[in-house]
Structure 1
């Protein structure tokens, strides 16, 4: 039998229910695995007291199960408020913040029986797809410790990839699930906006642009966690469409610069796997100018971030603790006029109409998950991509914008490894509300490429 830390949550749940193993066994194996690998990757932070965790495991062992995650250790993304556990958002402003109540996501995980062992590392306020911050430092890629694990769910992805967690929650505004999943060779799913509840205090516009979602090493675990995160709203379906039609958007007609070899690797994997599965893949021209999507996205994103972080920006003693990414977003957002926001919303509506037409002809669309291979962990962000200068801190992530702006489901498909052994991935994108269909296609993809294992750095 494989080591307990290498098993998925579904298999652990089955074994605990059958009393083949106990929550104490699982907790002991999890903590031993964290001892073995977390020092290298720095994915799990704010780890709770071990005796307290073992005590909770013993209590789970003695109690009847109340949910499918009964007795299974989880670490929650450090952007989520978790009762009694430091929740820093990677910011010095919240370095010692210990919430008195759980966010809804934490409550749902606990209600499913999970034991919260700590948090997973993030960029400061989740801004930028590189999980580094002044509180906990940088999360490193398990496949090359000199490289980034991505972000903002980089800690979650690296913890999954190394076997420190069997499932993990993430969130995705601008690729925060898809980017680290691709770079750590795991699965990540950005659901249709609204499927997973947000927090009551979030703005309506934020609800349209960002969402929580599941991450795992298998699609079955991904779907099981999505049921929990969605408060039992999501329901899987049994099979994929017959001979599905897939639209391949590649590099958006050259608008998205791609680092050497990445597009070719993604194209080769898509052609090979789709051929094995009987999927009909058709290369399609850009359905809307990339700059229109980008203008709409960065306008709405900065507008939302300026509402979220405007208060600390206005206080000089707090502004001194904001990183350049946060300051750029807030100052850009505060400079926007009503006309700017109105134009961006109109551009978004135009994109939704284009998507509706595309999904009338295709079952799903595919794009690369990233425009780069994992970059050096010491960088703050890439200053250029394929010799094209990046004019913002997040321009190198532009390939994730079409799904984010549309609020549609996007599954990060593991797509293999480059010549240096670094993973890469593809985005499988479906129409709004078709989450089960997208994940059914993901199950077929998984059957073709094989399971994702645990990697020891």
Structure 2
């Protein structure tokens, strides 16, 4: 395996002496939300250097167990940048709300000067020369880019392992996966190693990891965060945080039109972080659960989802179990075609025997599936997607929102690449166990991922809150109301940070 620049050599060491706990002052500082930290920094109640060193202490203490942040930059360089941010504030200059806040970028995105491996040995030596659009916007808002967050190879599969950086563990049980493909960012958030995190989502990568790590995510409407190209295959970039307000603020930073993205939305992104308080009484919510038994679910998943529904009901919402008038198996078949079509952009890597040998089996499966598709197959998949969109539009005329589970299983053994069965039902592909997220990917509607609670083992799960077309702000408002009323969203850190976690 080729050594990446800043790659495996910069991954967390597991042979270090017993790590030193952050000071009580540092632990208190990293417990703040990103918005709170921003306010403290701009009031000059804490310095950017203090914020940076507190988060670096948190990383030094907990990242060796989690392997969530990779390609971490040199400590002295980061502290020096934080000191420059303090000098700017002293001179009356702020770069934006993220001024001086540490930020790690998902390793599927390009961040200038840092490894851009996609978690693949194919790109183990690649270093980004420029920033992707959303990364440039985060940097322009004042964030200090400290490194990358781990992801599965090319983002394929909701288990963040690869042969460049290794496997990311879950802070609620370090023997288990953090999910993916935004698993590194979600685990880093839960462990208070970063204030907010960016991610991307094709098949639930801003929904499944938040469920596994008890944090908040948002899959934005297609075009909300600019994406290149004329075809909405499925993947979007979006935010994660420990609070809804943080997620809204980061989304407003990442979002907005860009002339290089022909399908980007023209709305002013500032409105996304506007007033989140709203009376939600009377809001009508459709609960789809397991699609009347179509989806296999691990015992306990549906019960926790239904307990989350009780929070909406306490807010005065009307919740009803219902089924969209569309065959979920048809949605699944059309999704496989759209996904494989999008992954054909990697066909050149498959065609070269040298690079094909470096691709994991699931990656090879995706490309070979795409190569078997005909023009007629794609035409049928497009028609099926149109049909599903029409059915969902009809449902959302009768209901304001849809709620569904964010995951079909609880976090599983991190040595397992993917669950081959759920509650005795075999999975026919490496990603069938994630089917609950697929309908909403295909519709391009905005979806919030919210914590739903824990099973008897202390393992978390979550729900998806699906809004109407382009109503990202409405989704955030209902999510904010849920957060305020939910008994499980109390800001309690994971067991790893309190000394009660299982560290292996």
User: Does the CA-based 8 Å contact 1:87-1:98 persist in structure 2?
Assistant: yes
Question: Where does the alignment leave 5 or more consecutive residues of structure 2 unmatched?
Answer: 1-24, 257-267
Cα deviation code 1:127-183 (max 9, x no counterpart) = 000000001111011001111000000000000000001100011100001000001
Task: Specify the alignment match of 1:259 in structure 2.
Answer: 298
Task: Specify the alignment match of 1:100 in structure 2.
Answer: 129
Matches within 5 A, 1:21-420: 21-63=46-88, 64-198=93-227, 200=228, 203-205=229-231, 207-231=232-256, 233-235=269-271, 236-237=274-275, 238-270=277-309, 272-306=310-344, 308-420=345-457
Q: Please state how far the C-alpha of 1:240 moved relative to its aligned partner.
A: 4.5
**TM superposition score normalised by structure 2:** 0.88
**TM superposition score normalised by structure 1:** 0.97
User: Does the CA-based 8 Å contact 2:167-2:414 persist in structure 1?
Assistant: yes
Q: Which runs of 4+ in 1 moved over 4 A?
A: none
Question: Partners of 2:47 and 2:458 in 1: how far apart?
Answer: 36
Q: Please state how far the C-alpha of 1:350 moved relative to its aligned partner.
A: 0.5
Q: Please state how far the C-alpha of 1:389 moved relative to its aligned partner.
A: 0.9
Question: Where does the alignment leave 5 or more consecutive residues of structure 1 unmatched?
Answer: none
User: Does the CA-based 8 Å contact 1:195-1:234 persist in structure 2?
Assistant: no
Question: Partners of 1:274 and 1:68 in 2: how far apart?
Answer: 31
Question: Partners of 1:452 and 1:372 in 2: how far apart?
Answer: 23
Of residues 98-107 and 119-128 in structure 1, the stretch that sits farther from structure 2 once superposed is: 98-107
Q: Please state how far the C-alpha of 1:241 moved relative to its aligned partner.
A: 4.0
Matches within 5 A, 1:8-19: 8-19=33-44
Task: Specify the alignment match of 1:424 in structure 2.
Answer: 461
Pairing partner for 2:490 from 428, 432, 451: 451
User: Does the CA-based 8 Å contact 2:404-2:465 persist in structure 1?
Assistant: yes
User: Does the CA-based 8 Å contact 1:193-1:208 persist in structure 2?
Assistant: no
Question: Partners of 2:177 and 2:87 in 1: how far apart?
Answer: 41
User: Does the CA-based 8 Å contact 1:76-1:116 persist in structure 2?
Assistant: yes
User: Does the CA-based 8 Å contact 1:140-1:147 persist in structure 2?
Assistant: yes
C-alpha RMSD of matched pairs (Å): 1.2
Question: Partners of 1:366 and 1:130 in 2: how far apart?
Answer: 24
